[in-house]
């Protein structure tokens, strides 16, 4: 009863619904993760053991991103961190094109080395971008509905990630990307 009224009141405020909408739109950006996994295994010949090691290293890189944010960025305005991490993420997110087009080999960087470096850098940046999102979500929560609103904001974040994956999967299908044809990846 009362919590639903408080949640409705919270979302009627522009200082809550605007950041929530931005968070949803930012996180729902289409990804090509599924197709890219096929590319890395089928085209580049990367095996499960190697990809597992990459996942381990990126987990450590995520912790490094938390340290970077805490040490250097926690006192920087959230809007500024989000703006610059979004711009950097958009630019660095394009580095997958280097791998897909094998330009890294022309630069003398083997695929495995490039995958490690690219994933580590993007993971640190992703965590640096995620930390102010958590801080923002915590600050948006009015007294009395803190836990419920925070859970709703994080659920919105997770739902947006699913939407981004599904839209990305649909785009790769429309573009004709398959496990045998990565030409439009």
Reported as a single tens digit per residue, the pLDDT across 133-185 is 888 888 878 888 888 888 888 899 999 999 999 999 999 999 998 877 888 87
Q: What is the pLDDT of residues 43-93, one digit of tens each?
A: 999 999 999 999 999 999 999 999 999 999 999 998 899 889 889 988 988
Looking at per-residue pLDDT, the higher value among 15 and 29 belongs to: 29
**With contact defined as beta carbons under 8 Å apart, do 61 and 120 qualify?**
yes
**With contact defined as beta carbons under 8 Å apart, do 133 and 86 qualify?**
no
pTM, two decimals, is: 0.82
Q: What is the pLDDT of residues 95-131, one digit of tens each?
A: 999 999 999 999 999 999 999 999 999 999 989 988 9
Predicted confidence at residue 180, as pLDDT, reads 77
Tokens describing residue 35: 């197709």
Q: Tokens 């409705």 correspond to what residue? A: 8
Predicted confidence at residue 72, as pLDDT, reads 96
Predicted confidence at residue 56, as pLDDT, reads 97
Predicted confidence at residue 127, as pLDDT, reads 93
Of 58, 70, 64, the C-alpha closest to 134 is 70
**With contact defined as beta carbons under 8 Å apart, do 152 and 7 qualify?**
yes
Average pLDDT, integer, range 28-37? 89
d(CA 150, CA 131): 14
**With contact defined as beta carbons under 8 Å apart, do 185 and 172 qualify?**
yes
Contacts of 96 (CB under 8 A, 6+ apart): 32, 36, 118
Contacts of 11 (CB under 8 A, 6+ apart): 17, 20
Cα 93 from chain centre: 10
Tokens describing residue 185: 């990846």
């Amino acid at each position: 009863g009362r919590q639903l009224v408080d949640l409705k009141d919270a979302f009627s405020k522009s200082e809550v619904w605007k950041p929530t909408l931005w968070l949803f739109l930012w996180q729902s950006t289409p990804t090509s993760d599924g197709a890219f996994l096929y590319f890395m295994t089928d085209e580049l010949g990367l095996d499960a053991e190697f990809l597992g090691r990459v996942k381990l290293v990126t987990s450590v890189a995520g912790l490094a991103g938390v340290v970077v944010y805490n040490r250097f960025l926690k006192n920087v305005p959230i809007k500024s961190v989000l703006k610059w991490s979004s711009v950097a993420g958009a630019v660095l997110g394009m580095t997958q094109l280097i791998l897909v087009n094998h330009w890294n080999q022309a630069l003398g960087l083997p695929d495995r080395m490039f995958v490690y470096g690219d994933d580590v850098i993007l993971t640190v940046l992703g965590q640096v971008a995620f930390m102010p999102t958590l801080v923002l979500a915590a600050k948006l929560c009015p007294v009395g509905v803190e836990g419920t609103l925070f859970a709703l904001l994080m659920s919105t974040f997770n739902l947006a990630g699913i939407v981004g994956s599904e839209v990305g999967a649909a785009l790769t299908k429309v573009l004709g990307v398959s496990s045998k044809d990565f030409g439009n990846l």
